[in-house]
Amino acid sequence: MCGIVGYIGKKNTDLFSILKAGLIGLEYRGYDSAGVTFLAGKGFEVIKCVGSPTKLTATTTKLSSIGIGHTRWATHGGISERNAHPHFDCKGEIAVVHNGTIENFAELTAVLKKAGHRFTSTTDTEVIAHLIEAEMKKSPFKTAVERALSRVVGAFGIAVISKKEPHTIIAARRGSPLLIGIGKDSLMVASDQNALVAYCKHVVYLDENELVVLTPDRFSVTTLAGASVIKQKHALTEQEQTTGKGRYKHYMLKEIEEQAETLAAGMSGRLDEKNGMPVLGGIRQILPRLKNVSNIIITGCGTAYHAALYGKYLFEQIVGVPVRAEIASELLYEKVNEPPDRTLVIFVSQSGETADTKDVLVELKQRGFLCIGIVNVAGSSIAREAGAGIYIRAGVERAVASTKAFTSQMLALALLGVTMARQRGMSKIEGSDILAEFKKIPSSYRTMMRILKPKIRTLAKKLVDQSSLTFLGKKYSYPVALEAALKVKEISYIVAESYPAGELKHGPLALVDKDFVAFVIAPENNLFDKLSNTIHEIQARGGSILLVTNQDRRREKIIKAVRDVIFVPPTKFNFVYPFYTVLPFQFLSYELALLLNRDIDKPRNLAKSVTVH
């Protein structure tokens, strides 16, 4: 959450525009308020606003070669210009931007106030500026930053500039992501590459507890304890450099419609159909250890957890070992009693920076568990910490509501599942059949989209005045029900609930009346009879049913009795259906939000990358 950007160059330039553009690239990380500061002449120019960084307006035409900026997702302190970053020390000589949370800021603030420091905000970040101010009375800039951060408990990704050091940016990270961008005549620092792709072709990823000093023509990295670190430079791919909306009004719609291509990319070069075996380079070195796995844990947060739950059902079915799917923020506080030497833990995260997921990874890796990351950002913290994994190749996902990452996460889990199943006796023929079925998905998506878009648009108009919607499914359809409810509530703000269909009679049936509307997701033949009982229970009490299923003559009687039906393509394998059944709900949530005039790409109170607890 929150996004920071810093720039230092060899020449003066229109730095306000560069910093603002960088923040717009980061605004999916937080958009409660924004601000920039840059050195011009002998002082700081400061520009802040409440709301999106697009609202930042230049108040000067002064040029500069060094500055920092921030887009905020509020944790401590209300949403106001006063609390917008950057924050300053008492004399206005040190400016700080910060992503993270300072857990001991109240204690530090009390000590600093007693020493005469004056605070102007109610944020936790301002304490960092005052700590650096106090340390600079007796130490040079870099040492002062190191000593200040040694007193901080919590997570941070920070960038600092000082009037006394007008040719230096210092940045550091612990728990919050940070990377360095290398441009032609400049260096940048940012929370992620979206802030700097227009100016930099190469990046360097900072690791935990590292600090970088940037000057106009070089950078040097050390640990927070001062030890030198040699870093690798990484080229940004063409896909990583392409982040615009193109012809689309919203990133979300663009990302929904990109899924045929992103799923194809996720399979490209990875399907050995002749031998019925996925080819996953990121896990090649651990294949021998995978043969000995007797337990699997899959964990993630939000949409990534829903993908994890899909993975649980799939691994249980085709790999045949006990599997549990856990919400990472809860797994942090649970006992993990499985034997580390025979347990695989899979960490699912779009950004690769999700704080709770990353914390579980660090803990379990230290205990000797075999860990795999499934991420969308190759150089992310989870990718580097896990050491082995699968890059989902979904491309940059800018909308807060995840769509293409979800289907790509399911695909990565499925390919891993087939890999492990082939190690354990799945035949080459069955493996080939499964891969062939997955290969059909992109083409099926293109057909579905042409049919679905007008149908869902009409359906959304009929549902837009609903105060609530309910989504029901069994087994593979349950993660889809969870994801459908999440998409609807997070961007349309309509109350949406999801349940395993069998749980309806254990309480939620009390909600059913003439205004009740439920989507029943029932594509699998072997579960349809059970779900038809749920349909009858709702209809008997006056509720309405919208059915998502495949065309089957045996279902005609029920299909005629429901309010509406959405057909999905048939498939040989029940674990392929979620790819088809989730697509209508992605479109539905979008169309509902559009009719309700919501901020679709940036829903209220949310941020894309959750890097704080």
Question: For residue 426, which amino acid is it?
Answer: M
Which two structure tokens, joined as six digits, stand for 576? 């392929």
Beta-strand ranges (E) seen in 234-289 are 234-235, 271-272, 277-278
Backbone angles phi, psi at 566, to 5 degrees: -115, 120
Sign for the CA dihedral angle at 566, 570, 573, 576 comes to: negative
End-to-end CA distance of the chain: 10
**Are the beta carbons of 414 and 308 closer than 8 angstroms?**
no
Which residue from 426, 418, 391 is spatially nearest to 405, judged by alpha carbons?
391
d(CA 365, CA 252): 35
- Of the candidates 2, 200, 301, 371, the residue annotated as catalytic is 2
DSSP code for 347: E
d(CA 266, CA 275): 19
Residue with tokens 């699998």: 524
251: left (phi over 0), alpha (psi -120 to 50) or beta: alpha
CA–CA distances in Å: residue 54 to residues 31, 51, 601: 10, 8, 14
User: How many alpha carbons fall within 13 Å on the CB side of residue 222?
Assistant: 12
Buried b (16+ CB within 10 A) or exposed e, 438-462: beebbebbeebeeebbeebeebbee
d(CA 393, CA 409): 9
- Of the candidates 48, 254, 474, 608, the residue annotated as catalytic is 608
How many other C-beta atoms are found inside a 10 Å radius of the C-beta of residue 316?
16
d(CA 591, CA 151): 49
Side-by-side strand order, sheet with 495-500: 495-500, 468-473, 517-521, 544-549, 564-567
In the residue annotation, 62 being an active-site residue is answered as no
**Are the beta carbons of 64 and 38 closer than 8 angstroms?**
yes
SS3 state of residue 158: strand
In the residue annotation, 184 being an active-site residue is answered as no
Catalytic amino acids?
A: 2, 608
